[in-house]
Structure 1
């Protein structure tokens, strides 16, 4: 009986180990968001808007959840399914203005890094988490972002709790990777997946 229990325990440990290894392998192909503090401001991005491919997420220009700036560096490209292209500076200014008007859920500026730490662009949003998948060395895929917090709260969704829940889940995975000596992921990308400190004082003139 003891031998049987020992065998079951060993099988369970092996299964858990393989599951954690698979989970960490998946994370290896994920991009990250990092704080843009001290590097660039949303004003800089707007003033140099022609240097970027610009997109916004949300219901409309006057009801956005984020604005994204694709850098065009060395042929790098951000792809997506639902982000809407922005081809005029006035539209970009309007989107950022509406984001800044949501004072209860202030937007923050993040750098978008690919799985290997290369800069692909910037995102300005209340959200500090977004799904980013590496397609190849020069292409990443950016997931859609939910409706603005004001709309989601009207529908009975607690936006703050949802963001905290996502962050907690990512933190658990990171701790699992560390416990199983997968420190390469943290060392390589220099921080927690999809989380960062806010870039303070970001406003559009």
Structure 2
């Protein structure tokens, strides 16, 4: 149908190649962190250098996460969103336009997804088929963290991200298995996720 035509059109325009979005010049370069990675034979310390762009991405993620948490827990629209998730019919009966509330939620989510795509395209590469990888990682993060919890999603993302990177360092062939082991253990011990509520 329409999705196949759209996919064919995108392949015709971008030719199915791999793309790298350039990092802005003001975010390019490395920063020396106060973390000692080695000591030379003459006694001089070697400090860790880390890309400034990745530090900026981490800071942006923390700010966005705190902003979302504050919006959901401290504002009127957040109260309506939480009420709509729990009992849509009751929220509608109290005179709130539920469709408008969920349209706002969709717009915020779509905007954040687009922002994440640009950020991810700069840190990694953009290629056909990459969407499946990120969707699968997102699913694992939500399962581990707990559905409907921003703090759970943050904890899940931290656990899965660290597990993925440690797996790539210590056993590259089976690194991705570590994330699924964490998911299985979480489902066995706490099926609703680390911060999820049992219903």
Q: Same fold (TM over 0.5)?
A: no
Question: Between Structure 1 and Structure 2, which shows a larger proportion of strand residues?
Answer: 1
TM-score calculated relative to the size of structure 1: 0.26
The structure with more radius of gyration = 2
Question: Between Structure 1 and Structure 2, which shows a larger proportion of helix residues?
Answer: 2
